[in-house]
Amino acid sequence: MNIAEIRMRKIEMPLRYPFQTHAGQVNDRELIIIEIMDIEGRKGFGEVTAFSTPFYTSETSESAWLVLRRIFLPAVNWHQIVHPSNMASQLSIWQGNRMAKAGLEAALWDLYGKQLNKSLSQLIGGSRSYVESGVVLSLADKLEEVIANYQNEGYRRYKLKIEKYKEGQMIDEIKAYAPSLPLMIDANGLYEEKDIPYLQSLDSKGLMMIEQPFRPGDFYLHQQLQNQLDTPLCLDESLTSLADVKQAVLMGSCQIINIKISRVGGMTEALAIHEWSRKNNIPVWCGGMVESGISKAHNIALASLDGFIIPGDISASARFWERDLIIPEVEVKQGRIKVPLDPGIGFKVDEEYLQFVTQNSYIFQPDIS
């Protein structure tokens, strides 16, 4: 791919509104933007979506920065990178650090599309012109007000962040003013085995799904709960690879898969999970990470694949940002987002604003002699 330079930027972007989960409130989002340039000056952009603290996974933006700078960038055989998937192969010898891996590979996918003059959706076999959009409801949101606004915009799936043991009340309140809302809840691993009877009580609430009720990696408890529920369970944090997905499905631990490019280590692994799930009739949807438009653009391309039959966490840029990193910004119209056809991710990166929000940068020039 004739890589000439890799630039990493540590950025911080102010959220338009606070985003709150059980683990705390996010007001400003730290991200790492990776820019890979080839010898002809074309640039590909990727994003490392790890958070500042290890509340979602053990990885953080700081740990990802150090691993990329000290290990991954100097260790890659850059002259052997002829396709983005080669990056996944080379980095597979190191454990974990999937978000760092995903951001690096993402920049290659964008660049590769620009080199071939193809959109990322076309490169990976996407077939949709539009993807259906879902939205995440934060604990900081004034729910009745924001739900009414999102219904006017046509969002087609609503994911509710919850407080432990207050889900039933929250769901009932929402159903009172939006009885037909396609609603799911995200438990983020809050529950234990003793809570199975309580979670069973949510079976009558008419939810689309319950996401990740138990801690990551506990396929057994998810299996036990799914056996006692009609409501589908969906796994998120538990699934970091195709091997995890196979284990979860074959054990009966879930009926739905949330695919996040960053959580599984990159687009290459995400594509493998999608293909296996499609062949085995497992519904999948694309999760989000309170990310900028760069990462969102990669998600749009992924969600254009046939197997993504549930609206994902792919909302408009204005859901989180007064100003996004891409031009044009992502817009939701009648609950759908148009899949761009321009080369690579299909959006222009606003490099002026990117520079403005950059707090630290690092340039690496590979030895390709």
Which are the catalytic amino acids? 161, 260
Alpha-carbon span 221 to 215, nearest angstrom: 9
Burial of 117 (0-12, 13-18, 19+ CB in 10 A): exposed
Alpha-carbon span 153 to 332, nearest angstrom: 7
Alpha-carbon span 318 to 322, nearest angstrom: 6
The long-range contacts involving 347-350, CB below 8 angstroms and separated by at least 24 positions, are 347/293, 347/294, 347/297, 349/43, 349/45, 349/294, 349/325, 350/323, 350/324, 350/325, 350/326
HSE of 180, CA atoms in CB hemisphere, 13 A? 3
Q: Which amino acid is at 324?
A: D
HSE of 361, CA atoms in CB hemisphere, 13 A? 13
Alpha-carbon span 119 to 122, nearest angstrom: 5
DSSP characters over 83-135: STHHHHHHHTTS-S-HHHHHHHHHHHHHHHHHHHT-BHHHHHT---SEEEB-E
Q: Beta strand 326-327 with 348-349: parallel, antiparallel or unpaired?
A: antiparallel
Cβ contact 253:222 at 8 Å: yes
Alpha-carbon span 209 to 231, nearest angstrom: 6
- Token pair 């987002």 is found at 337
- Token pair 């939006």 is found at 178
